[in-house]
Amino acid sequence: MDTPTPRAVLFLDDEQSYVDLMTQLLSDNLNCPILAYTRPQEALAALSRQDVALIVTDYSMPAMNGIDFLVRAHAACPQVAAIMITGHQIELAGQDLSHVPGLREMLFKPIRWRLLAETIIRHWPDGNPPRWKGTT
């Protein structure tokens, strides 16, 4: 029986070093592609070319904040789930984010990569979430 091609995680943050670190750790430990972006417009364009199941996006970015990004991403790819990460706890505290399409959870920086990986698996939108590498 053929194993289905794994769907991808799209990871978006404007800090290149953070993107590099987190995508490397996730790629080393989860059996799905991790697509890394630092520019929201490039990430939006990728949604039409890639089979993305879940988006991990930063909230605070110069060109477009994470909420605006998710609204646009949902218009292009309505079935995608999302996790937002931010270092702006106070700015977002008490905000009702239920209107943000696809948003499943908010995580506050600094984030341990393992917590992020577990959150990705937990909120995967279909019945075939990524698995930990090295486990059966």
pLDDT at 57 over 90: yes
pLDDT score of 91: 59
The separation between the first and the last C-alpha atoms of the chain, rounded to the nearest angstrom, is 16
pLDDT at 134 over 90: no
Cβ-proximal residues to 30 (8 Å cutoff; 6+ apart), any chain: 9, 117, 120, 121, 130, 131, 132, 133
Cis geometry, peptide bond prior to residue 129 (ω within 30 degrees of 0): no
pLDDT in tens, 101-127: 899 998 988 999 999 999 999 999 998
Token pair recorded at residue 64: 């477009």
pLDDT score of 89: 66
pLDDT at 58 over 60: yes
pLDDT at 85 over 80: yes
pLDDT at 94 over 80: no
Q: How far is CA 117 from CA 1, 69, 84, 100, in A?
A: 27, 21, 13, 22
pLDDT score of 122: 97
DSSP 130: -
Tokens 């998710």 found at: 70
pLDDT in tens, 4-53: 668 999 999 999 999 999 999 999 999 999 999 999 999 999 999 999 99
pLDDT at 136 over 90: no
Domains belonging to the chain, first-starting first, are 8-122 (3.40.50.2300)
Query: From the CB of residue 104, how many other CB atoms can be counted at a distance below 10 Å?
Result: 17
Q: Which helix (H) or strand (E) holds 89?
A: helix 89-92
Alpha-carbon distance 63 to 69, whole Å? Answer: 10
